[in-house]
Structure 1
Amino acid sequence: MFAKHLTLYSKLYGPDPNMNPQLASVIATAKKAGMPKANIDVAIARGQGKSSTGGGLETATLEVMMPSSSAAMVIDIESDNKQRSLKDLRVIVKKYNGNVTPTAFLFTRLGRTVLRPQGEDAAAGDFDDIFMQAVDAGAEDVEQDDDGNVVLWTQPNVTHQVAQKLAAALGMEIHSSDIIYSPTSDKVKLDEDEAAGSLRALLAAVREYPDVQAVYANVEKGDVSEELWKTVEEHLGL
């Protein structure tokens, strides 16, 4: 989680902690928790679209289908050598019986931002007022989750601008701000333990690859146990 926030605040407000109090705060917390300086530097550089050596990062996606469950996936990659990363991931996908094939048409790209109140006892405020301000700022939909956080849905090209504008206007903290792949149609239910286990194994292997930023899949819990589903779900998303 430290790495994610370091990258986010570097991207939104710049890489210099002297000019970026949000970044400075996360750096201090990460250091206290024992996060190595090299890892902190990598996360900050990633927020600027750079590798740890200063070279530019390239983005890419790998589209995958799992025949055993008919689950479609999109793997988000950020790498200083995307051809190498794609080649490596194709090997992993093949090893776990997945097929590299077009699946992006089953998803739509959306911006998703989570704003949370600042301070342990703070509240988000009147939702109707938040909703109107969010829509005026460019959000297409607004939700409030069970923890009282405000979730903004936007078009990808305005995600970070809307996040910063609303956070400032509402006095809230940007907890996350990402562009995701959301399934466009009904999700595939996981009913068979064997198929769910195969999907879990592939997801776990893919998530271990360092250049993978996120994995999206059009799946949901069916008849498999809650315990098995959680082991699948923990590998999905960002």
Structure 2
Amino acid sequence: MASLARSIIIGPLSRSSSKSATPWSSSICAQCRRTFITSPALQSGHNKWSKIRHQKAAHDAKTSSARTYYAKNIILYSKLYGPSLADNPQLANFVQAAKKAGVPKAVIEGAIAKGQGKSSEGAVLEPVVYEAIIPPNIALVVDAATENTKRVIEDLNGYVKKAKGAKSPSKFLFERRGRVVFEKSESGLDVDDIMEDAIEFGAEDLENDEEGNIIVWSDPSSTQQISKGLGSKFNLKILESEIIWHPIEDTRAPLDSSEDLNRFIECLESIKDYPDVQAIWSNVTRGNMSDEEWARVTDLIDE
């Protein structure tokens, strides 16, 4: 039987042996082949190790998102009210929350320093505005702050070239605007209630977002005045206070589901993870992207 078993296994691999096989042996070989074909196989992505890898990736993404959230707010409140935790209760609250969330001490200290325009070692950071065009015709403006401008530009060039794009003027497709976002007031204050004071502080336009937060638009020079003035007067929590590159409506460019989209997303992910990058602005619009694809893009750019 052992020799018969060997002939059954070897037979299908040899053309000469398959021709000389008896009907009985051919029948057995056919059964063997059916047995091999119908045997359950491990599917890619569904075994134990793939599951662990996917879980780790999800955990890493969640951790990265938490660090980004706390770092952004620590930078904001350090910039607005100073680096002292004793004199800046908003900053102190975010630092305490970041520690509870497991954000490393180095990240927290680095964010406080960045709010003051310095590195964690105390070196003055230089602002960098990087411009690029990504196929098919998507404009990028990247805000960064660094000790080494040349290194940042070279690294960003590498990410853009990988996406088949090029460093190219694109700021003319945007307008510079100040934007302050206040969290929805628990007392029920709305746009109409603060409009008169907001205008006095330099506001040009006010609106509510989908969650009821109040957005105040202004000239860039009025951003901090609006943040501090309205925030203090009406006891409003500041969610964002920044000078942004807002795409001019007529210059917005659609991006469809394609290889260009995949390369664009990979480029954005690389830039977003770069330590010296503070914000990414783009004139991209949805095109025929799916909800999931569009969500991936909007998660990576600042709007």
Q: TM-score scaled to structure 2, two decimals?
A: 0.74
Counterparts of 1:90 and 1:44, CA distance in 2 = 28
How far the C-alpha of 1:36 sits from its partner, in A, is 1.4
Counterparts of 1:202 and 1:9, CA distance in 2 = 29
Q: Is structure 2 residue 195 aligned with structure 1 residue 131?
A: yes
Unaligned 5+ runs, structure 2: 1-68
Q: Is structure 2 residue 70 aligned with structure 1 residue 70?
A: no
How far the C-alpha of 1:192 sits from its partner, in A, is 3.8
Q: Deviations over 1:97-132 (max 9, x none)?
A: 1111111000011111111146xxx14414312222
| Runs of 4+ residues over 3 Å off in structure 1 | none
Map 1:129-208; keep pairs closer than 5 Å: 129-186=193-250, 187-208=252-273
Question: Which residue identity lines up with residue 146 of structure 2 in the other structure?
Answer: S
Q: Which residue number in structure 1 is paired with residue 115 of structure 2?
A: 47
Q: In the alignment, is the contact (CA less than 8 A) between 1:77 and 1:214 conserved in 2?
A: yes
* Residues 170, 206 of structure 1: alpha-carbon distance in 2 compared, 3 angstrom cutoff: same
Counterparts of 1:226 and 1:61, CA distance in 2 = 30
How far the C-alpha of 1:95 sits from its partner, in A, is 2.0
Alignment RMSD: 1.4
Q: Deviations over 1:6-65 (max 9, x none)?
A: 111111111010111111111111111111111111000000000010000010111110
Q: In the alignment, is the contact (CA less than 8 A) between 2:184 and 2:211 conserved in 1?
A: no
Q: Is structure 2 residue 170 aligned with structure 1 residue 106?
A: no
Q: Which residue number in structure 2 is paired with residue 22 of structure 1?
A: 90
- 3-state SS, counterpart of residue 224 of structure 2: helix
* Residues 35, 73 of structure 1: alpha-carbon distance in 2 compared, 3 angstrom cutoff: same
Q: In the alignment, is the contact (CA less than 8 A) between 2:181 and 2:238 conserved in 1?
A: yes
Q: Which residue number in structure 2 is paired with residue 10 of structure 1?
A: 78
Counterparts of 1:85 and 1:220, CA distance in 2 = 27
More strand by share: 1
Q: Is structure 2 residue 290 aligned with structure 1 residue 225?
A: yes
Q: Deviations over 1:152-183 (max 9, x none)?
A: 11111121111110111111011110111011
Q: In the alignment, is the contact (CA less than 8 A) between 1:124 and 1:150 conserved in 2?
A: no
In percent, how many aligned pairs have the same letter?
42
Q: Is structure 2 residue 91 aligned with structure 1 residue 91?
A: no
Unaligned 5+ runs, structure 1: none
Q: In the alignment, is the contact (CA less than 8 A) between 1:6 and 1:27 conserved in 2?
A: yes
Q: Which residue number in structure 2 is paired with residue 116 of structure 1?
A: 183
Q: Which residue number in structure 2 is paired with residue 60 of structure 1?
A: 128
- 3-state SS, counterpart of residue 12 of structure 1: helix
- 3-state SS, counterpart of residue 172 of structure 1: coil
* Residues 171, 117 of structure 1: alpha-carbon distance in 2 compared, 3 angstrom cutoff: farther
Equivalent pairs counted in the alignment come to 234
Q: In the alignment, is the contact (CA less than 8 A) between 2:86 and 2:92 conserved in 1?
A: yes
Q: Which moved more, 1:220-229 or 1:45-54?
A: 220-229
Counterparts of 1:192 and 1:4, CA distance in 2 = 31
Q: In the alignment, is the contact (CA less than 8 A) between 1:5 and 1:26 conserved in 2?
A: yes
Counterparts of 2:145 and 2:92, CA distance in 1 = 24
Q: Deviations over 1:41-99 (max 9, x none)?
A: 100000000001000001011111013x2111111111111121111111221122111
- 3-state SS, counterpart of residue 140 of structure 1: strand
Q: TM-score scaled to structure 1, two decimals?
A: 0.94
More helix by share: 2
State the structure with bigger RCO (CA 8 A, min sep 6), 1 or 2: 1
